[in-house]
Structure 1
Amino acid sequence: MHKLKNILSICLLLSTTQAFANDDITGVWRTIDDKTGFSKALVEITKDDSGVYSGKIIKILPRPGYTPKTHCQNCPAPYTNAPIVGLTILEGMKQSKDKSEYTGGSALDPLSGKRYKGKIKVSNNGNRIRMRGFVGIEAFGRSQTWIRDK
């Protein structure tokens, strides 16, 4: 009986740890274009010491028959003509009270040069996020699915 309690305790501890890990957005994510459905880039999301998340493009993923842009041509200063690889496109995101949401930051679209308010919603299993960029209110925006890259 004692052995069964130990096994159950370990299982409970592991499932609790996994539940908290599912909400963590640090790591590498494959962005999926909401218009074409193709993968666009790999973005690495990191967290600083104050709990603020940012993300930078670490690799461009060209789709068949398309030559991707390599520089941020229409971006505002200081990003004007900056290489897209290494570009910080996600800034200032903080985990909200609902641990599966991150808000308060902004997202930069390197193809249009536009900056949007950002919101992230983590899927139940932690392997997908819905990145929402909007101007003004959330209803006026676009969403992309990002898939955790293993």
Structure 2
Amino acid sequence: MKVVRYLLSVLSLFIVLTAYAPKSDADAVLGTWLNGTKKGHVQIYKQGGTYFGKLVWLGQPNDPATGKPRVDDKNADHSKRTRPLMNMVLMYNFKYDGGNVWSDGKIYNPEDGKEYNCKMTLQNPNTLLVRGYVGISLLGKTQTWTRVK
């Protein structure tokens, strides 16, 4: 009888602990984020089973010299240097790993015209850590992004 009571107690404890375990939410990253340089807003969205991000707001949308909308003038591919920055997809192919981490993605930095491997970690509902790196994650830089809406 003691064994039965002990097993029932353990089973009850297990049920209580798992009933209140936080649920993983792959779509928690969706929304609009102020990037780490505070120069732009990136909207993260889901397409198919992967996550993407596009530039939807710029603090300085027009080139001060020409007065025209900013373009991707630092791109290594000369044929892409005239494309507008607004609504450009900067992030792509992120997969949810669980534990508030999205990885295996790429991020394009229009300030230097280079593309980097990238991983995102949702620190809390309004703070996203975005790490761009070359090769391995150890060789990179992390920016803190803040949710806009």
Q: Return the TM-score normalized by structure 2.
A: 0.73
What is the aligned partner in structure 2 of residue 128 from structure 1? Answer: 127
2:31–2:43: 8 Å Cα contact kept in structure 1?
Answer: yes
- Displacement of 1:22 after TM fit? 8.7
Residues 30 and 67 of structure 1: CA distance in aligned 2, closer, same or farther (over 3 Å): farther
- CA shift, 1:134, in A, is 0.6
Structure 2 gaps of 5+ residues are 1-18
CA drift of 1:144 comes to 1.0
Structure 1 residues 79 and 146, CA gap change in structure 2 (3 angstroms)? farther
**Alignment-derived partner of residue 88 in structure 2:** 87
Spell out structure 1 runs of 4+ moving beyond 6 A. Answer: none
Residue 110 of structure 2 is matched in structure 1 by 110
2:46 corresponds in structure 1 to 47
Q: Assess, with a 3 A threshold, how the Cα gap between structure 1 residues 119 and 61 changes in structure 2: closer, same or farther.
A: same
Verify the 8 A CA contact 2:25 2:100 in the aligned structure 1. no
Task: Quickly say closer, same or farther: Cα 1:79–1:143, change in 2 above 3 A.
Answer: farther
The residue type paired with residue 53 of structure 1 is Y
Count the aligned residue pairs.
125
Post-superposition Cα deviations, 1:86-143, rounded to whole Å, max 9, x if no partner, equal: 11100000101x33100011000011100000000111x3211110001111121111
Q: In the aligned structure 1, how far is the partner of 2:64 from the partner of 2:137?
A: 31
> Which entry has the higher C-alpha Rg, 1 or 2?
2
TM-score scaled by length of structure 1:
0.73
Alpha-carbon separation, structure 2, partners of 1:22 and 1:101: 9
Quote the residue 2:59 is aligned against. Answer: 61
Q: Which residue of 2 aligns with 1:6?
A: none
Q: Aligned to 1:24, what secondary structure does the other structure show?
A: helix
Aligned equivalents of 1:67, 1:100: Cα separation in 2: 39
Amino acid at match of 1:130: L
Residue 32 (structure 2) aligns with? 28
